[in-house]
Structure 1
Amino acid sequence: MTEPASSPESIERRTIEHIPLDERHGRARDLFTVWFGSNIMLLTIITGALSTTVFGLPLWAGALSVVLGNVIGAVVMALHAAQGPQMGVPQMLQTRAQFGSYGSLLVVVLVVFMYLGFFASNAVLGGQALAQVTGLPTNVAIVIIGVISVVATIVGYRLIHKVTAVLSVVAGGALIVAFVWMIGVNGVPAETWHSGGFTWAGFMATLSVAALWQIAYAPYVSDYTRYMPRDTGQRAAFWGTYSGCVLGSVLPMLLGVLVGAALPDDDTLAGLSTLTHGVSTGIFAIFAIGITATNAMNLYCGTLSTITVGQTFFPKWKAGASSRAVVSVVLFSITLVPALLSAEDFLANYANFLALLLCVLIPWTAVNLVDFYLLRHGDYDIDALFERDGGRYGRFNWIAIGCYFAGILVQIPFLSTTLFTGFIAESMDKVDISWIVGLAVICPLYYVLMKPKLRAQSGHDPLRAGSAV
């Protein structure tokens, strides 16, 4: 009898290959817990705290911008969820259908760096929390957090789903306790509730950061839905993902907004510890352990993307569990350097990382979603995705590549970061709307340019071209 590719008792055998229909499992509601549980962590709290610390907003404005950013950004993120059940392959492998087998490497390599950036950020915060609870040196705690994440990555898909389901209850409970303790038991300083200091630049910067938090998940949403039955349904996959990710992100971000408003001059983790005095040890322990699951998700997807790069050059390579293990260890080793070096100046580095990341992700997600929903309606030749010459999709799709670079260029004048501010953003009091402009320009541009090409290739209506399996 053949061992299942991903059973509770075994290590997942599959990596980037197509998941056969007889190995599909799970329900759309499982998507709620994988995104709800994985988002309740220290990095989410830090992200929310940017609104009242780095961007200087009052509590009400920070809370409003955080909610709006997540609600808007999650629409883009959750639309990718249906691609996994439909196609049965990882998210970045699908990019070959839009950019070509070699053209896709541009985006895939950037996404690997994104995963490593989030892994390093999480490792720093998890290590700091673990060090605070245990008394271990911070660098040792960072390594421990990373090693646990590597183990979960090696075991694979089912373990990650199960752990995040548990975290939905445990970490969710710790989050509620933190709110109650801060407001109802210890109390917060009176100046926490002040209403002055609002700026549109700070509001839009916070909204953009919150939206990016959601959009940054777009390159690996399908990695956690590709084992689901093909008849899961687009609406069910969307709402399961959307609701879990929005609630799981908004609640801890609001906690961060509150911490930042109460103690704006303190380090966010130190402020959280002060405001939850009496239960801080338990809360930090739960969040430190929970961050390993989230980091396992980052490393797991980074590993699949790295294997995708390798398989592009060596199409006969059949990467399995051992390959995933080796690649995950290598990627973990690479992230240790920035994690250990950035621990002392984490907040400023993280804010800049988010701003630059948004600029390069927006055009990719625009091309991917327009191609999937409006041009091909989910109909793809899966076998062609694994061919070195790209099969029907070719090695390079210059329309997609051109739109990608155009998407980056069109955003530059609207960017507002500590590293660079575009001339339009400067004239708008440094309000950053670059990601909105990127989506508004690239979505229709790619559709208009790509539709005639598909029609010419197929000889009939491009909306019906292609084969899903």
Structure 2
Amino acid sequence: MSQVIEQRSIDHIPANERYGKPTNQFTLWFATNMQVSNVAYGAVPIFLGLPVHWAIVSIVVGHVIGGALMALHSAQGPKLGIPQMIQSRAQFGYVGATLPMVVVFIMFAGFNAACLVLTGQMLSTLIGVSVDIGIVIGTIGIILLPIFGYKILHACQKWVSLIAGVAFVIMSFNLLRNYGFGDAGSGEFSWGMFVLSVAIMVTYQLCYAPYVADYSRYLPEDTSTRKTFCFTFAGTVTACVWTFSFGAIAASAATDAFAGGNVDFIVGQAGFAIPLFLLILIISNTAAPGLGVYACFMSAITIVTTFFKVRISFPVKAVGMTLIGLSAMLLAILGRENFLGNVSAFIAILGYFMVPWTAINLVDFYLVRKERYSIPDIFNPDGRYAGIDWRAMSAYLISIAASVPFMNTEMYAGPFVEPLGGMDLAWLVSLVVSAVLFYWNMQRYPVRRGFIAHLGDAPAVQGAKASGNDSKSAAGDELESVGDAP
């Protein structure tokens, strides 16, 4: 049993415990996205007013962009062997990383709740219970899967990718046979709504970025970065474009029947064995929030261990994941009445906080430190990453502030939204500003706590002051310091 239940949590995975192939990333992310929740999300561009063919184009463009960024995070897993969010300590500091982690924790809770709403609806149809009771039953599955951990999650997703894939082939064929590509004459193209739809798709993929490396960190360290990227990208983009497009076509073809992502309409496209297809969709819709609960615990325990010494035993993991699952259940029951509206607003708001985090993380990994980190210091509150690193924190906060005038949500629309025809460019502004400003900060202030980042984080001479004088690093490299980091 101990070999089945994962023994580790946020700690580093040593070389002798590494296993698996990058192809596993395809099945995991394909299965995660072959689910009915994604079909409901696919209706969003139709409800924004886009014609169905332009809705599908926006789906493809958004998921390709977001999927590429997401897959770049996945490629970090084999190199570092640690969960994604704990690596943020290297950018934001041991304490500073708690800010994006809190945002991620909230994001996971909302994502898990959204999946549970549709699971509850499907269980209600399948076994005749109320939707609320269905949500409660579905919660059991999203708690048990992550308690077993990494190996079981990967194993389940291999089978789900096959079974759900076959089910969606049948439902998609019948949807196209019965409705074609929907009502091509409905909706009216506008650049504002198209760009807003693309932004929603990009943001959806970035919702996975904070925990994608959690599921590649057991791969051997010499695993090809290119292969990890490609299999992750192919899995998530293929499944998302497929299921979102299914939703867009369904919403265009049968707006009233599909309103809110109606599960009966979706599963009805099978044409036969409806209970069997419902069961398949319930299983596939349980795996995704199961991953979310697992990653939510990783973020939560990272936050806790930042301030308290905690021994992360199996009972601690079980209790923590149970509480996370129950919180998602409560949110699902309370927010299920306006499911689609809540989801679209939720995804849009999260993007404003997640895009700058992903830019900073990727710039640091690929351009600044170039895959070289001190793993022991990531777990050391007094190490080189201690405290708050204002080089990253300032870039993060300034980029969010810079994006505010471009935000377009139900609650707030920035002053630049109307002149831009309703476009929401906040994600693009925050992406560029955070990436450029963080990179500039790291070049302008390369030394922090006596360590240099842009030369592989090699330690500088103890007590050396970055005042424009030359000093020697422990590696023997010449360092021209230009000022201590803020």
Structure 1 gaps of 5+ residues are none
Alpha carbons of structure 1 residues 13 and 413: separation in structure 2 relative to 1, 3 Å: same
Of the structure 1 ranges 391-400 and 269-278, higher mean CA displacement relative to structure 2 is found in 269-278
Task: Give the deviation of 1:44 after TM superposition.
Answer: 0.8
In 2, Cα distance between equivalents of 1:208 and 1:320: 40
TM-score (norm 2): 0.90
Quick check: 1:367 aligned with 2:377?
Answer: no
Partner of 1:28: 22
Quick check: 1:97 aligned with 2:90?
Answer: yes
In 1, Cα distance between equivalents of 2:268 and 2:238: 25
In 2, Cα distance between equivalents of 1:124 and 1:227: 32
Alpha carbons of structure 1 residues 419 and 92: separation in structure 2 relative to 1, 3 Å: same
In 2, Cα distance between equivalents of 1:13 and 1:295: 21
CA deviation profile, 1:215-256 (whole Å, cap 9, x unmatched): 111100110011110001211111111111101111111110
Task: Give the deviation of 1:281 after TM superposition.
Answer: 3.5
Task: Give the deviation of 1:321 after TM superposition.
Answer: 2.3
In 1, Cα distance between equivalents of 2:453 and 2:409: 44
Alpha carbons of structure 1 residues 459 and 155: separation in structure 2 relative to 1, 3 Å: closer
The answer on whether the counterparts of 2:45 and 2:55 sit within 8 Å (CA) in structure 1 is yes
Task: Give the deviation of 1:156 after TM superposition.
Answer: 0.4
* One of 231, 235, 251 as aligned partner of 1:240: 231
Task: Give the deviation of 1:338 after TM superposition.
Answer: 1.4
* One of 137, 141, 148 as aligned partner of 1:144: 137
* One of 58, 66, 82 as aligned partner of 2:59: 66
| Structure holding more helix per residue | 1
* One of 130, 133, 154 as aligned partner of 2:126: 133
Kindly provide the amino acid, as one letter, of the partner of residue 162 in structure 1: A
Partner of 2:466: none
Partner of 1:205: 196
Q: CA RMSD in A?
A: 1.8
* One of 111, 128, 132 as aligned partner of 2:104: 111
* One of 173, 177, 189 as aligned partner of 2:170: 177
* One of 215, 218, 233 as aligned partner of 1:227: 218
Partner of 1:413: 405
Tell me the SS of whatever aligns to 1:462: coil
Tell me the SS of whatever aligns to 2:168: helix
Partner of 1:393: 385
Quick check: 1:325 aligned with 2:357?
Answer: no
Alpha carbons of structure 1 residues 273 and 168: separation in structure 2 relative to 1, 3 Å: closer
Tell me the SS of whatever aligns to 2:129: coil
The answer on whether the counterparts of 1:201 and 1:431 sit within 8 Å (CA) in structure 2 is yes
In 2, Cα distance between equivalents of 1:370 and 1:242: 19
* One of 140, 153, 156 as aligned partner of 2:146: 153
The answer on whether the counterparts of 2:89 and 2:378 sit within 8 Å (CA) in structure 1 is yes
Task: Give the deviation of 1:275 after TM superposition.
Answer: 4.5
In 1, Cα distance between equivalents of 2:89 and 2:343: 30
In 1, Cα distance between equivalents of 2:70 and 2:223: 18
The answer on whether the counterparts of 1:35 and 1:244 sit within 8 Å (CA) in structure 2 is yes
In 2, Cα distance between equivalents of 1:447 and 1:291: 39
Partner of 1:214: 205
CA deviation profile, 1:156-207 (whole Å, cap 9, x unmatched): 00010011111111001111100111222xx128962326522222211211
The answer on whether the counterparts of 2:384 and 2:449 sit within 8 Å (CA) in structure 1 is no
Quick check: 1:351 aligned with 2:344?
Answer: yes
Tell me the SS of whatever aligns to 1:465: coil
Aligned length: 456
TM-score (norm 1): 0.93
Tell me the SS of whatever aligns to 1:396: coil
The answer on whether the counterparts of 2:116 and 2:138 sit within 8 Å (CA) in structure 1 is yes
Partner of 2:254: 263
Partner of 1:37: 31
Tell me the SS of whatever aligns to 2:417: helix
Kindly provide the amino acid, as one letter, of the partner of residue 31 in structure 1: Q
Alpha carbons of structure 1 residues 459 and 357: separation in structure 2 relative to 1, 3 Å: closer
In 2, Cα distance between equivalents of 1:321 and 1:203: 47
Alpha carbons of structure 1 residues 84 and 95: separation in structure 2 relative to 1, 3 Å: same
Quick check: 1:289 aligned with 2:257?
Answer: no
Partner of 2:484: none
Quick check: 1:18 aligned with 2:12?
Answer: yes
Tell me the SS of whatever aligns to 2:455: helix
Tell me the SS of whatever aligns to 1:123: helix
In 1, Cα distance between equivalents of 2:49 and 2:433: 31
The answer on whether the counterparts of 1:47 and 1:209 sit within 8 Å (CA) in structure 2 is no
CA deviation profile, 1:290-347 (whole Å, cap 9, x unmatched): 11111110000001111111111124x2313222111001112222221101111111
Task: Give the deviation of 1:274 after TM superposition.
Answer: 5.0
